[in-house]
Amino acid sequence: MGQVQRPGAGRTASLCTQAALRYPDGPMNAPDLEPTPAGATDATDADEAFMRMALAEAARAADAGEVPVGALIVAGGRVIGRGHNLRERSQDPTSHAEMVALRAAAARLACWRLLDATCYVTLEPCPMCAGALVHARVARVVYGCDDPKAGALRSLYRLGEDSRLNHRFETRAGVLADECAAALSSFFAAIRAGRRGR
Ligand SMILES: [Zn+2]
C-alpha cells in the first residue's frame, strides 16, 4: 500500500548479480584493487592513512587548477574508487570529488550499491554528494574539515542520519582536519595573490 513501484529494481539487481559472478569471493578479490596503506594497524590509523590518500587526490586537483578536494571509496580495506574535484575541467557541476569516486567504485563493481563501503573525503560533503552517498548505501563517511557554507553531514544538514531518508550511515568528522583545511586555504591564498600580482 502506497509503495512506489520500481520497475528498474530487477535490472539493478541483475547488474549486482553480475558483479557477484565476476568476483565470486567478493569485490575485494577483483583485480587492480589497491592495498591497505602501509602502517595502518587499527581503525583510527587506517582512517588517517586513507585520508592521506584522499589528500593526495586533493593535491592533484590543485595541480590542475581545481579547488582541492579529494575522495576515496574503500571497501574491505581496499580502495575501489578515487577521484578529485573536476568541476573546471569537465564544466560539470556534479563532478565533485565524491561523485567522481562513487562513479569509479560503482563502475568497478558494476553495482550501484556500495553497501559496505566507506567514503573518505577531505571536505565535508555538500547536499548533492551527501545525497549521492545515501543513494549509494555506503556504510560510513569519514571527512576532514567542516564546510560551514555547504556541509550537509554536520554543518548545515545531517543528511547521513536523517531518519526520513531510506538509508543512514555513520559519520566521522575531523580526520586530518587541519591538513585538509590548509590545502584549501593555501589554494585560495595563491589565487588571491595571483589576482593582486596582475
Ligand atoms: Zn559535493
| pLDDT reported for residue 22 | 46
| pLDDT reported for residue 45 | 87
The fraction of the chain above a pLDDT of 70, given in percent, is 77
| pLDDT reported for residue 12 | 47
In 3D space, the residue among 131, 76, 140, 130 whose CA is nearest the CA of residue 108 turns out to be 76
The side-by-side arrangement of strands in the sheet containing 70-75 is 78-84, 70-75, 118-123, 140-145, 170-172
What average pLDDT values come out for the chain (198 residues) when binned by 10 residues? Answer: 50 48 43 53 81 98 97 97 97 98 97 97 98 98 98 98 97 98 96 85
**In the structure grid, which three cell numbers stand for residue 157, read together?**
544538514
Alpha-carbon gap, residue 68 to 74, rounded angstroms: 20
Distance 146 CA to ligand 1 centre (A): 13
Distance 32 CA to ligand 1 centre (A): 27
Alpha-carbon gap, residue 47 to 56, rounded angstroms: 14
Q: How distant is the alpha carbon of residue 148 from its chain centre?
A: 18
As a whole number of angstroms, the longest Cα–Cα distance in the chain is: 65
Question: Is the whole model's pTM more than 0.75, yes or no?
Answer: yes
Distance 29 CA to ligand 1 centre (A): 30
- Selected catalytic residue, list 98, 161, 170, 179: 98
Q: Which helix (H) or strand (E) holds 134?
A: helix 127-135
Is 98 considered catalytic here?
yes
Alpha-carbon gap, residue 148 to 156, rounded angstroms: 7
